[in-house]
């Protein structure tokens, strides 16, 4: 039963990764948390295990998604090069901090931020905008904006997601068209996922290892099931994203964030 649940979650996560430029953690973390709960893992440990396993799965998922978007010319190279290392730094720090925090606090924080970002997406509804310079908006590739990707990487690593939940709305606020924001976000997701995974793998206090094949806060057995499913479905999501209009894609992303944020708040307060 758990096998089919993980396969389905992986396929959905990969589809959303390609479609919305996210890593898929919004789907993976709740499913992994439910599976680990059914296996008897204490709540004090299973959220961290779910987050760590999700981040490890996002590494190949984000790389495949970014490659596909790059082939369609949907990645802003300047921002990708400048923001990538900053996201990585924030992700490493965030993963190390998350290990020390209560899982309910993580879920509540993520849910609140996702809802705010979702309202932003629904409000703007993917409307077409010109590149930032045409509007006199700040250039996000400037070094002075590095705290933004550092923050995105840190919060994303703590939540077990690839960062698209936050980076897409932020890039839209800088004036990026939605397809460009989604593609660039997919590339940044790889920068976030890799150092985050290292942080969770190196966790020294990962609890009782009796119930699974674990390394730090990563469940290797669940990872082996999830990765093939996510990688298989990513190209389907990328193709769908570039067939949809900016308005439809932007609205879909906003609604998705509202639903996912509400679900995370429910888990935190339940």
Per-residue pLDDT tens for 99-146?
Answer: 777 767 766 776 787 787 677 667 665 454 444 444 456 788 888 899
Mean pLDDT of the chain: 80
Q: In the predicted model, what is the mean pLDDT of residues 239-257?
A: 75
SS3 219: strand
Residue 121 has what pLDDT?
Answer: 65
**CA-CA distance, 43 to 257, in Å (whole number)?**
24
Cα–Cα dist 66/74, whole Å: 9
Category of 213 on φ-ψ map: left (φ > 0), alpha (ψ -120 to 50) or beta: beta
Q: Which range among 165-174, 225-234, 238-247 has the greatest average pLDDT?
A: 225-234
- Domain limits, the chain: 2-269
- What per-residue confidence (pLDDT) applies to 133? 45
Long-range contacts, stretch 141-145, CB < 8 angstroms, 24+ apart:
141/78, 141/79, 141/82, 141/83, 142/82, 143/82
Q: What is the mean pLDDT of residues 196-205?
A: 80
Residues 6+ apart with CB under 8 A from 201: 52, 56, 215, 216, 217, 218
Determine what percent of the chain is predicted with pLDDT higher than 70. Answer: 85
**1 CB neighbour count, 10 Å cutoff:** 7
CB count in 10 Å sphere of residue 77: 11
What is the model's pTM? Answer: 0.78
- Is the separation of the CB atoms in 28 and 9 below 8 Å? yes
User: Which tens digit of pLDDT belongs to each residue from 7-22?
Assistant: 888 888 888 788 877 7
* pLDDT for residue 254 is more than 70: yes
DSSP 213: -
């Amino acid at each position: 039963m758990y096998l089919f649940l993980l396969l389905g979650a992986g396929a959905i996560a990969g589809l959303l990764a390609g479609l919305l430029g996210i890593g898929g953690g919004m789907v993976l973390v709740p499913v992994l948390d439910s599976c680990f709960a059914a296996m008897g893992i204490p709540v004090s440990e299973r959220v961290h295990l779910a987050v760590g396993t999700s981040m490890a799965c996002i590494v190949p998922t984000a790389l495949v998604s970014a490659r596909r978007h790059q082939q369609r010319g949907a990645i802003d190279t300047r921002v990708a090069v400048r923001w990538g290392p900053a996201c990585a730094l924030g992700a490493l720090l965030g993963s190390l901090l998350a290990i020390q925090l209560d899982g309910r606090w993580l879920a509540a924080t993520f849910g609140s931020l996702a809802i705010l970002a979702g309202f932003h997406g629904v409000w703007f509804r993917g409307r077409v905008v010109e590149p930032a310079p045409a509007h006199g908006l700040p250039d996000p590739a400037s070094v002075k904006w590095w705290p933004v990707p550092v923050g995105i990487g840190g919060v994303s690593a703590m939540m077990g997601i690839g960062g698209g939940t936050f980076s897409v709305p932020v890039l839209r606020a800088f004036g990026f068209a939605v397809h460009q924001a989604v593609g660039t976000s997919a590339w940044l997701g790889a920068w976030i996922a890799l150092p985050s995974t290292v942080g969770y793998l190196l966790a020294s206090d990962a609890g009782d290892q009796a119930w699974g094949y674990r390394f730090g806060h990563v469940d290797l057995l669940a990872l082996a099931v999830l990765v093939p499913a996510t990688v298989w479905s990513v190209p389907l999501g990328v193709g769908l994203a570039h067939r949809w209009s900016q308005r439809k894609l932007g609205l879909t992303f906003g609604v998705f964030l509202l639903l996912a944020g509400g679900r995370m708040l429910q888990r935190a307060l339940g």
